[in-house]
Amino acid sequence: MKVKTVELKGNKGVLKIEDTDVYFVNSLRRIMLAELPKLAIDDVIIYDNTSALFDELISHRLGLIPIPTIDLPALAFRSECKCEGKGCPSCTIRYTLSKEGECVIYSGDLQPEHPSFAITETTIPIVELMKDQRVILEVEAVLGRGRDHAKWQVVLAPRYRMETKITVDKKRMNEVKAFIEELPKDLVELKGDKLELVDPSKASLFESYLEKNKVDFIMITKDPTKLLFSFETDGSMSAKTALQESINILTKKYEEFRKNLKDL
């Protein structure tokens, strides 16, 4: 298997994977969606809330705020922690919030117990306060997985597409050129007798035009051994960290599966 990093910085990752099988890349995709752990607000204690939103709505919005999940190996699931679920620094990250008067409360207003867990996505609105309104609360963030609830899902819409190859009937080039002229600009480009997509991500759009016009002089084939895998994170961890942790989880699952096979 060959892997080329097209982009892997910030919250976005794009990989070109060759000489592989679709099932393997799909396994990585599912790990990112369901198994990759992250911190999310799970317990909310509201001491005072005179805003226009009910406590439940504010709690729901708080739960969807990306909590920085740094040094994942040092964190423990509350159910597996040595404190037996009491809520120690190894399994529970606490934040407080106290705002009063005419303003908008943003995610950045959550004050962490430890500075290293300061909210990075600071401009997510929670609630707007009018004059003489206030919100005072305390929250606890704990580790969880996407399979338990969407708020613990690190990676958003991981996806892959097969490499697309376009072939044309060289004997009907006049029809090919006439058809291309009717398409939106910057969709495909004719280079000699070869037709190429300007943006590979628009392959499905090009296919829809072929199907709609019942074109039989242009054919599209896909190579399942050459895939472009792309994903984004919610900001709780970088794309690089999310990829590394997902690979570690997938490796452990394969090792466990191999061990179980030997025991049969």
Residue 138: which pLDDT band, with cuts at 50, 70 and 90?
very high
Which whole number is the average pLDDT over 190-207? 83
What is the pTM assigned to this prediction?
0.84
* Same domain for 145 and 43: yes
pLDDT of residue 194: 83
Q: Give the per-residue pLDDT at 176.
A: 87
The answer to whether 40 and 69 have CB atoms below 8 angstroms apart is no
Examine residue 197 and state whether it is found in any structural domain, yes or no: yes
* Assigned domain for 168 exists: yes
For residue 179, tell me if it sits in a domain.
Answer: yes
Domain count, the chain: 2
pLDDT at 170: 87
CA–CA distance, 62 with 144 (Å, rounded to integer): 15
Same domain? For 43 and 57 the reply is yes
Do 113 and 14 lie in one domain? The reply is no
Domain that includes residue 128, residue range: 38-152
Q: Is residue 201 part of a domain?
A: yes
- Where does the pLDDT of residue 248 fall: very low under 50, low under 70, confident under 90, or very high at 90 and above? very high
Per-residue pLDDT at 107: 96
56 and 99 co-located in one domain: yes
Instruction: Give 140-187 pLDDT, tens digit per residue.
Output: 999 999 999 999 999 998 999 888 888 888 888 888 888 888 888 888
Q: Does some domain include residue 263? A: no
Query: Looking at the domain assignment, is residue 245 inside a domain?
Result: no
Please tell me the predicted confidence (pLDDT) of residue 199: 83
Whether residue 237 is contained in a domain is answered as no
The CATH code of the domain that includes 82 is 2.170.120.12
In order of 21, 54, 55, 107, 162, the CA distances from 97 in angstroms are 48, 16, 14, 9, 47
Boundary (domain end) residue, out of 152, 177, 202? 152
In Å, how far from its chain's centre is CA 14? 12
pLDDT at 1: 86
Domain presence at residue 250: no
What's the rounded Cα separation, in Å, for the pair 136 and 115?
20
| pLDDT bucket at 193, cuts 50 / 70 / 90 | confident
Output the average pLDDT for the chain: 92
Tens digits of residue pLDDT in 69-116 = 988 889 999 999 999 888 899 999 999 999 999 999 999 999 999 999
